[in-house]
């Protein structure tokens, strides 16, 4: 490259050109002595491969969603056309029906927001202090309680439905918001605690010790020094807990159903014995998915970081 720059160094414009040329060549990987088996070369090939694999995976994952999106704009007649049509006259009638019609999903969306929102908020409220304590304090039964927390995740949910039903019936919690939220907490709390513990453990103890010496005291050390450093973890936990509560169907249909009917349950009504209203179902699904996708996009960065937590020890600090 030195030679190239020298050649153009006569006038300012040529130099600018050379720099641009350099940048372009750097971008396309032309700026090296040996064209092939350099480190950058292999890295480039690897990147290409990764992109290709990602594209295939994305296509597989995205296809059903795209198909549902397409379906949501079809009439019920178009849905049943065989072979399926890709070209059709799009209609908004499905959306009109699921938003404003007699089968409006809006009240159910509100229900979902209440259930998922409150259970997420409560989960965070309890799991953060619990996880911090588990990560930091030398509690006597620390290992045992850690196992217990995780063990609750191993139970198949179906096995719990009947006991939960009976318990809620006894305390008058069937078909109430508080009942369903309570049940969701039994799942989300252990999960959230388990997730948050690993984030807290990644923070060196010296952080609190420094804060303690700086006269912060335990609570302020947690609030000002530790919590800001586990923001990512809190974001990931929020998303996972919210998603789980939002997507939950089994408990909602059995333990809720009439007064408390989240959108997942309500959508189920489009499937009946006589017919399945595929287009409306698809429109409803799109509507139900929208907040979740929005949330995912907002926190994408944190989620990716969260999934690789622990992969690079102390990666956040230098």
Binding residues for another protein (CB under 8 A): 204, 206-207, 209-217, 220, 224-225, 228-229, 231, 316-318
Closer CB to another protein, residue 12 or residue 228? 228
Q: Compute the least distance from the CB of residue 202 to another protein, in Å.
A: 12
Q: Compute the least distance from the CB of residue 205 to another protein, in Å.
A: 9
Q: Compute the least distance from the CB of residue 207 to another protein, in Å.
A: 6
Closer CB to another protein, residue 199 or residue 278? 199
Cα(46)–Cα(221) distance, integer angstroms:
44
Phi and psi at residue 9, to the nearest 5°: -75, 5
Q: Compute the least distance from the CB of residue 306 to another protein, in Å.
A: 17
> Residues 101, 105, 106, CA angle at the centre, nearest 5°?
95
Q: Compute the least distance from the CB of residue 305 to another protein, in Å.
A: 14
Q: Compute the least distance from the CB of residue 232 to another protein, in Å.
A: 11
3 state SS for the chain: CHHHHHHHCCCHHHHHHHHHHHHHHHHCCCCCCCCCCCHHHHHHHHHHHHHHHHHHHHHHHHHHHHHHHHHHCCCHHHHHCCCCCCCCCCCCHHHHHHHHCCCCCHHHHHHHHHHHHHHHHHHHHHHHHHHHHHHHCCCCCHHHHHHHHHHCCCCCCHHHHHHHHHHHHHCCCCCCHHHHHHHHHHHHHHHHHHHHHHHHHHCCHHHHHHHHHCCCHHHHHHHHHHHHHHHHHHHHHHHHHHHHHHHCCHHHHHHCCCCCCCHHHHHHHHECCCCECHHHHHHHHHHHHHHHHHHHHHCHHHHHHHHCCCCCCCCCCC
Closer CB to another protein, residue 163 or residue 228? 228
Closer CB to another protein, residue 175 or residue 201? 201
Q: Compute the least distance from the CB of residue 313 to another protein, in Å.
A: 13
Closer CB to another protein, residue 151 or residue 210? 210
Closer CB to another protein, residue 182 or residue 230? 230
Closer CB to another protein, residue 25 or residue 305? 305
Q: Compute the least distance from the CB of residue 211 to another protein, in Å.
A: 8
Closer CB to another protein, residue 97 or residue 202? 202
């Amino acid at each position: 490259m030195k030679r190239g720059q020298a050649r153009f160094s006569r006038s300012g414009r040529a130099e600018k050109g050379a720099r641009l040329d350099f940048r372009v060549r750097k971008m396309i990987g032309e700026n090296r002595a040996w064209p092939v088996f350099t480190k950058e070369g292999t890295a480039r090939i690897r990147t290409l491969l990764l992109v290709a694999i990602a594209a295939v995976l994305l296509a597989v994952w995205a296809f059903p969603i795209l198909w549902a999106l397409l379906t949501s704009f079809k009439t019920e007649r178009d849905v049943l056309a065989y072979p399926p049509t890709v070209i059709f006259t799009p209609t908004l009638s499905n959306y009109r029906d699921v938003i404003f019609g007699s089968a409006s999903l809006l009240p159910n969306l509100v229900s979902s927001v209440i259930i998922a929102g409150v259970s997420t908020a409560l989960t965070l409220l309890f799991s953060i202090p619990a996880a911090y304590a588990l990560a930091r304090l030398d509690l006597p039964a620390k290992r045992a309680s850690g196992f217990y927390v995780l063990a609750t995740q191993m139970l198949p949910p179906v096995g719990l439905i009947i006991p939960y039903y009976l318990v809620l019936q006894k305390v008058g919690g069937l078909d109430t918001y508080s009942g369903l939220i309570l049940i969701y907490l039994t799942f989300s709390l252990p999960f959230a605690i388990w997730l948050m513990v690993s984030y807290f453990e990644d923070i060196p103890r010296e952080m609190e010790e420094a804060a303690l010496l700086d006269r912060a005291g335990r609570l302020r050390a947690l609030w000002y020094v530790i919590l800001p450093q586990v923001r990512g973890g809190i974001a990931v936990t929020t998303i996972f807990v919210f998603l789980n509560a939002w997507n939950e169907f089994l408990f909602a249909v059995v333990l809720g159903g009439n007064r408390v009917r989240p959108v997942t349950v309500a959508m189920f009504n489009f499937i009946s014995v006589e017919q399945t209203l595929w287009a409306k179902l698809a429109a409803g699904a799109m509507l139900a998915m929208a907040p979740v996708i929005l949330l995912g996009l907002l926190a994408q960065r944190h989620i990716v970081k969260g999934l690789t937590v622990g992969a690079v020890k102390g990666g956040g600090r230098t």
